[in-house]
Structure 1
Amino acid sequence: MQLIECVPNFSEGKDRTKIDSIVEAISGVRGVKILDVDPGPDTNRTVVTIVGSSDDVSEAAFQGIKRASEVIDMRSHSGAHPRMGATDVCPFIPVNGVTIKECVDLSKKVGHRVGDELAIPIYLYEYSAQKPERKNLANVRKGEYEGLADKLKHPEWAPDYGPSEFNARAGATVMGCREFLIAYNINLNTRDHRLATDIALELREAGRAAREPSPASKNILDGSILRYKDDAYPCGICSEICSDVDSLAEHWQVAHDENFLEYMNSQGRNPNDLIGKSVKRPGMFKDVKAIGWYVDSYHRAQISINFNNYRRSKIHDVFDVVCRLADQRGIRVTGSELVGLIPLEAILMAGRHYLEKQNRSTGVPEADIVECAVQSLGLNDVSEFIPEEKIIDYAVNKKKRPLMDQSGNEFIKELSTNNPAPGGGSVSAFAGAMGASLASMVAVLTHEKKEFLTRKEEMNDIGVEAQQLKDRLAFLVDEDTKAFNRVMEANRLSDGTDEERKIKESAIEESNKYAIQIPMETAELSFQVMELSEKLVEWGNPNSVSDAGVAAEVGLAAVRGACMNVKINLPGIDDQDYVSDMNAKVSSLIKNAESLQKTVFKKTMQVIKNV
């Protein structure tokens, strides 16, 4: 399924009537889903997150920009966040089934339409940028709305689309394709925005002017700026002073693994014309932008951070560094907040990071890892963090699992009725999932015991694998019932004509194969559960050996039950080579599973005897 995310930032965060009007215009486009509306009164800015297909997102973005130009008057706008238009920035992000190029083309299409129909100057940035100096949003937005009229007079800043005339009411809009951006704020227990700015300058990739610290202040901004002099080129990163540019560049490379000449170019500086200019040093994190500000509604300062590549610079690493830098300045981090949505991967990386710091197992349920991240990052500090709303994977793909979402009693009751599904296939998958859950439990219990410190890494790996097996087998509980229903639907197709008969025969063959594929996967995964069980019986906490043994027992039941469901569907398949292959796999799986169960049972009873 093609899925594009669009995150327009509108310059209104206080007037709910205007915000609702813009959101209403967006929601009026069929096929678009609004995932988040995040207004900020102090920044006077609202971030709206929408997803949908290319055509739907294109129309929704245009309608949102159009309505914003009607209800927002930039002549009376003020706020803490940099901005240059009623719709300040409108990025398009590929999420699923779409390429960067397609999103670039989409941004140009929308930009062209906005420029022509709404007479709003449009600047393209990031992957869509037509000039190198327009790739960076901060460069395009420099001067903000107040400097836009003068900016438009310069030919080098003619917009990519739309008129070069100043639109006093709507300003200008920056548009383009970019990677998934995480907008993230870290909260400080101070009202001094200069302290927040001081830390932000340390973090951001662009870096800062190097300063000689003031003995009277912990804020580096209070120090005096270092400057390049004849025969004196301070490093900026450390206290080294070099005699010329070449030796400085060599020092950067050898001592700090940094390219001085590239950094100077990125700052728009000529390395051969530095005398008298401030010494600059790079920030600590790549693909990170940061500023400091004061948020009146929270009564505290924040560091506002944009992660342009959360895999390269991770949220938890930045958060930990900010905690250290804040402590050095005599302040504390109280927590953080997300503006918009965050990928599940980023949250899980953070959760695992903090679990590992606690020397705890990461082989625990996904929800526990998410909760660890939320607590460790303080994501509930100033507003409630609801995973189902703030994690894009959950918000977009809300799982519909009619069986697994039931209570135990409801599931048992459903099984006991005269409905043919759920049946043995779903129960087999459920048995396998229970076996995997037991394996995970034993692994975690062993991991936590000081007597098994040398086996922590191995127990962690087993726990992680068991969790993955559990989640997939739980998915197959519902999927097996869906597969059965597909067979029923195929058999109900009309076959009144030759063409209809061909369509029906093909649908039956396809649905029967899928009804075989699901229990086959259940059997294979359940056998893997049994293999984990054997390891846990041998190396796990002996006090939990019976749990590990039971995992193998229900694993065998799952293998056998799933294989029965494979066999019963094979007569409906015309492809005899496929039938022969499935029969061979089933025979081999049952034989190996029965042999393994006997081995595990024998080992389990021996451990119980010796406990």
Structure 2
Amino acid sequence: MKYIHAVPNFSEGSNKDVIEEIVNQVRDIEGIKVIDYFPDPDFNRTVVELIGKPAVVKEALLNMAGKVFELIDMEKQTGNHPRIGALDTLPIFPLARISLEECIEFAEELGKEIYDRYKVPIYFSGENARTEERKNLDFIRKGQYEGLKVVIHQPERAPDLGEPVLHKKAGATIISASQSGHVSVNVILGTNNLSIAKNIAKAVRGPSGGFSTVRSLGIYFEERNLTAVSMTMLDTNKTPIYRVLKLIELEAERYGIPIVSTQLVGTLHQDALINCAEYFLKIENFNYDQIIENHLADL
């Protein structure tokens, strides 16, 4: 049996009734497991993680898309997280006994069906990107919903599916397939000075001189009166979490501030944490047979 991993992100993180109604579209369905979902009121965004059989996942995501488009109005939506649409991103990853090529085809079919059914413009990113630039979410999202409305008629900013105009309520959706999932990490800083967080984020992210596989921004958590470097890590094998954390520590020392904590948003492969354990514990000659749970599959 083949299994796929999908991580839809929609642009609502505060209204519990709306969030629950949207997530209900993928809950309690045979052939799907919702691992968890992560509403963030500061970002005004919710990340949903689910796994399941491709055909069942596709129909559930189509239903979820319809509910998102019904309940979220981008003309009224605001938040700290960059976005261009109500169902902002919909990344797809292979999980078990399914190839990346099959996931690329799945993403293509899903994008076409979302457009055919709801007339929401589609941008393809990741392995589905039509150009090298569109592999980068920052390029597609430049100017966000408000800015994209103004330039979407330009050929380099037009959607891959649909007319060069945003849906009047739902904006546009970015769909992609990639080999491995992104890891979302928030490093909480011991300061409420947003300028410091933004400066550190600039030092970390690839386009401004940091790590090529990291995208980051400085944000303010109002409820905690603290700031954070919020990161999307595109490849934790090429750029381990510990390496980025050490850079953030060094940059924070310049301002005399500590790192309070680190938040992991969503799931990640155990490799990402094992790399950190090897580094910080200085483990010699580690191998995966030393993790007892890894032997369960042989029973």
Aligned counterpart, 1:338:
264
Aligned counterpart, 1:185:
186
Query: Is it true that 1:350 corresponds to 2:243 in the alignment?
Result: no
Query: Structure 1: any 5+ residue segments left out of the alignment?
Result: 208-281, 357-361, 363-459, 480-611
**Relative contact order, higher structure (CA 8 A, sep 6+):** 2
Q: Which has more strand, going by share of residues?
A: 2
Aligned counterpart, 2:163:
163
Change (3 A) 1:328 1:22: same
Larger Rg: 1
Q: Match for 2:184: what amino acid?
A: A
How far the C-alpha of 1:28 sits from its partner, in A, is: 5.3
Aligned counterpart, 1:296:
222
8 Å CA contact retained: 1:86, 1:170:
yes
How far the C-alpha of 1:148 sits from its partner, in A, is: 2.6
Q: Distance in 2 between matches of 1:23 and 1:287?
A: 30
Q: Pick from 295, 298, 305: which aligns with 2:231?
A: 305
Aligned counterpart, 1:202:
203
Per-residue CA deviation, residues 40-76 of structure 1 (Å, 9 max, x unaligned), is 0111000000111221221222111111001111111
Aligned counterpart, 1:111:
111
How far the C-alpha of 1:157 sits from its partner, in A, is: 2.5
- Classify the secondary structure of the residue corresponding to 2:174: strand
8 Å CA contact retained: 1:205, 1:288:
yes
Q: Distance in 2 between matches of 1:187 and 1:334?
A: 5
How far the C-alpha of 1:99 sits from its partner, in A, is: 1.6
| Structure-to-structure mapping, 1:123-522, within 5 angstroms | 123-178=123-178, 179-207=180-208, 282-283=209-210, 285-356=211-282, 362=283, 461=285, 467=290, 479=299
8 Å CA contact retained: 1:185, 1:302:
yes
How far the C-alpha of 1:473 sits from its partner, in A, is: 6.8
Change (3 A) 1:31 1:80: same
Q: Distance in 2 between matches of 1:47 and 1:200?
A: 21
8 Å CA contact retained: 1:199, 1:326:
yes
Aligned counterpart, 1:4:
4
Change (3 A) 1:131 1:299: same
Change (3 A) 1:7 1:323: same
Q: Distance in 1 between matches of 2:36 and 2:239?
A: 24
Q: Distance in 1 between matches of 2:5 and 2:194?
A: 32
Per-residue CA deviation, residues 465-501 of structure 1 (Å, 9 max, x unaligned), is 8836x6677776xx3xxxxxxxxxxxxxxxxxxxxxx
Query: Structure 2: any 5+ residue segments left out of the alignment?
Result: none
8 Å CA contact retained: 2:119, 2:162:
yes
Q: Distance in 1 between matches of 2:133 and 2:205?
A: 18
Per-residue CA deviation, residues 258-290 of structure 1 (Å, 9 max, x unaligned), is xxxxxxxxxxxxxxxxxxxxxxxx22x231111
Change (3 A) 1:473 1:335: closer
How far the C-alpha of 1:327 sits from its partner, in A, is: 0.8
8 Å CA contact retained: 2:2, 2:96:
yes
The number of equivalent residue pairs is 298
Change (3 A) 1:121 1:29: farther
Aligned counterpart, 1:20:
20
Q: Distance in 2 between matches of 1:472 and 1:4?
A: 21
8 Å CA contact retained: 1:186, 1:333:
yes
How far the C-alpha of 1:180 sits from its partner, in A, is: 1.5
Change (3 A) 1:70 1:137: same
- Classify the secondary structure of the residue corresponding to 1:74: coil
- Classify the secondary structure of the residue corresponding to 1:39: strand
8 Å CA contact retained: 2:197, 2:229:
yes
8 Å CA contact retained: 1:39, 1:46:
yes
- Classify the secondary structure of the residue corresponding to 2:24: helix
How far the C-alpha of 1:155 sits from its partner, in A, is: 3.0
Aligned counterpart, 1:419:
none
Q: Distance in 1 between matches of 2:289 and 2:266?
A: 32
**4+ runs deviating over 3 angstroms:** 463-468, 470-476
Change (3 A) 1:63 1:74: same
Q: TM-score, normalised by structure 1?
A: 0.47
- Classify the secondary structure of the residue corresponding to 1:157: coil
Q: Distance in 1 between matches of 2:268 and 2:139?
A: 25
How far the C-alpha of 1:151 sits from its partner, in A, is: 2.3
8 Å CA contact retained: 2:289, 2:295:
no
How far the C-alpha of 1:352 sits from its partner, in A, is: 2.1
- Classify the secondary structure of the residue corresponding to 1:292: strand
Aligned counterpart, 1:524:
none
How far the C-alpha of 1:5 sits from its partner, in A, is: 0.9
Q: Distance in 2 between matches of 1:84 and 1:189?
A: 31
Q: Distance in 2 between matches of 1:314 and 1:472?
A: 21
Q: Match for 2:233: what amino acid?
A: F
Q: Distance in 2 between matches of 1:342 and 1:332?
A: 25
Change (3 A) 1:194 1:472: closer
Change (3 A) 1:26 1:194: same
Q: Distance in 2 between matches of 1:119 and 1:130?
A: 20
Aligned counterpart, 2:71:
71
8 Å CA contact retained: 2:288, 2:294:
no
Q: Distance in 1 between matches of 2:132 and 2:6?
A: 23
